[in-house]
Amino acid sequence: DGGGAGAGGDLLSLLSAAGSTQDGEFDAAELRDQVLIFLLAGHETTATSLAFSLHLLGRHPEHQARAREEVLRVLGDRAPEAADLERLPYLTQVLKEAMRLYPAAPVIGRGSVAATEVAGHAVPAGADVILAPWVTHRHPRYWPDPERFDPDRFTPEAEAGRPRYAWFPFGGGPRACIGQHFSMLESVIALAMLLRAYEVEAVDTDIPVSAGITLRTEGPMRCRIRSLAGRGRSGADLAG
């Protein structure tokens, strides 16, 4: 709004003040591209992960109840804060498992800067290389019964027993998503607030998806939302 812009606190003003790493200032095209990247990478992907997390919890009420119990025990009625991320391990596992089954970026593109060899396959310099989290995340070599929703795949012990890049929704290496830590924090806090306030029941269970720049459903992904206002910590009605 006008107040935010006048204070110089909006995204466009911050980018203009920051300047380009190339020559010290942004031209109009660079500003446009940077804003689009922030909006695409920072909003649509997070919304996608949250939507599929709620859908999966709506299909698996036992996991939803366990996650809600953790949220109520840790947060109570207070506002969540950044330090709560490490206090909500099961909710973090829920989010990671949702991102395994439905990675917001189902494929990731890279370009080879030099000739190399990967698993016995020659990769020439300048080649386009496509990595597919969707495929790796469902590979039975790393994920027993890969179609099953199981947040306990992401306990510290389970994660230690898998190759590092069996799960890579944010990419990896020096060009991994720079916002991955903020995204996890934002998503866990948002999911915690939703589970504290609402009970979710999935209506549509067969969800065809398609892959563009980000993963999306080909039809509705409806759910029933019930307010938990006036209910006890377990979700049961206080009046009986």
170 is catalytic: yes
- Distance of CA 140 to CAs 211, 215, 238, Å? 21, 21, 45
Which of 26, 45, 92, 168 is catalytic? The answer is: 45
Helices (H), 76-211: 89-101, 133-136, 156-160, 180-197
- Sequence length of the chain is 240
Is residue 182 part of the annotated active site? The answer reads no
Q: Say how far apart CA 88 and CA 70 lie, in whole Å.
A: 7
Give yes or no: 223 in active site.
no
How many whole angstroms separate alpha carbon 60 and alpha carbon 199? 12
Q: Of 52, 136, 168, 177, which residue is the catalytic one?
A: 177
Structure tokens at 38: 């922030």
CA distance 122 to 114: 11
Catalytic residue among 26, 52, 168, 170: 170
Could you give the residue numbers annotated as active site? 45, 170, 177
